[in-house]
Amino acid sequence: MRSNPRCGAFGRQATGRALSLLSALSTLACASAVHVAVDERPDLSACRHWAWLPSTLEVTPDVDPLVRGAIARELGERGFEPAEGGVEPCLLVGYRLALRRELVTRNEGAAQQRVETFGTGGGAMGGSPGPIEIGASQSRLVAYEAGTLQLDVAQGGEGRLVWQARWEGRARTGLAEQLDDAVAELFERFPAGPAPGR
């Protein structure tokens, strides 16, 4: 979108508003936030094995492997291994995912229109400023998929909850492709960082 160099202050303001609107819309198209609800900072220095907590919510078959795979990968990067062959896990890990559809009203800019002005002619003493470009905004409903992903980590044995974090996000194109990044964002706040050399 180019403004006419002769359009004056009005055209520059319209162009500036349109660019600001486009910037705001691109930000709103995909938004997320992370909150840590429980953080008891357990001593995990001697902990090496983990297992899944029993699932309490049913998750669609195409999404469950994505989330479980991302969680297992993040735990592996921190030096934790799945408990197998009768090994007692020191961490129990679970997740809950809730997805919903939202309709949001957005004011979006319409295409710029060029309007010719008429006057007495140009020249140094006045006359028509020439053509100007104007635009208008229009409201429309935009569909988003919004969701909350919560991770629960308990210590083995007594199963006491020691860490819980929640990611909230929404996107126009659906959240499935964001879940891998969502899990990574949550684990950035996990008490144990990546193991050396990983």
Fold of the domain built from segment(s) 31-111+137-187: Double Stranded RNA Binding Domain (3.30.160)
φ, ψ for residue 191, nearest 5 deg:
-60, -25
Span 142-150, mean pLDDT?
88
Bridge-based pairing state of the strands 137-155 and 91-109: antiparallel
- The alpha-carbon radius of gyration of the chain (Å, integer) is 27
Q: What pLDDT, in 10s, does the model give residues 23-75?
A: 333 333 456 799 998 988 878 888 999 999 987 777 778 889 999 999 999 99
Q: Which two tokens stand for residue 35?
A: 């909150």
Q: Is the pLDDT of residue 15 over 70?
A: no
Bridge-based pairing state of the strands 113-115 and 132-134: antiparallel
Model-level pTM?
0.65
Three-state DSSP class for residue 78:
coil
- The domain spans of the chain are 31-111+137-187
Do residues 198 and 187 touch, judged by C-beta distance below 8 A?
Answer: no
Three-state DSSP class for residue 16:
helix
pLDDT at res. 153: 94
Q: What pLDDT, in 10s, does the model give residues 102-112?
A: 887 877 766 66
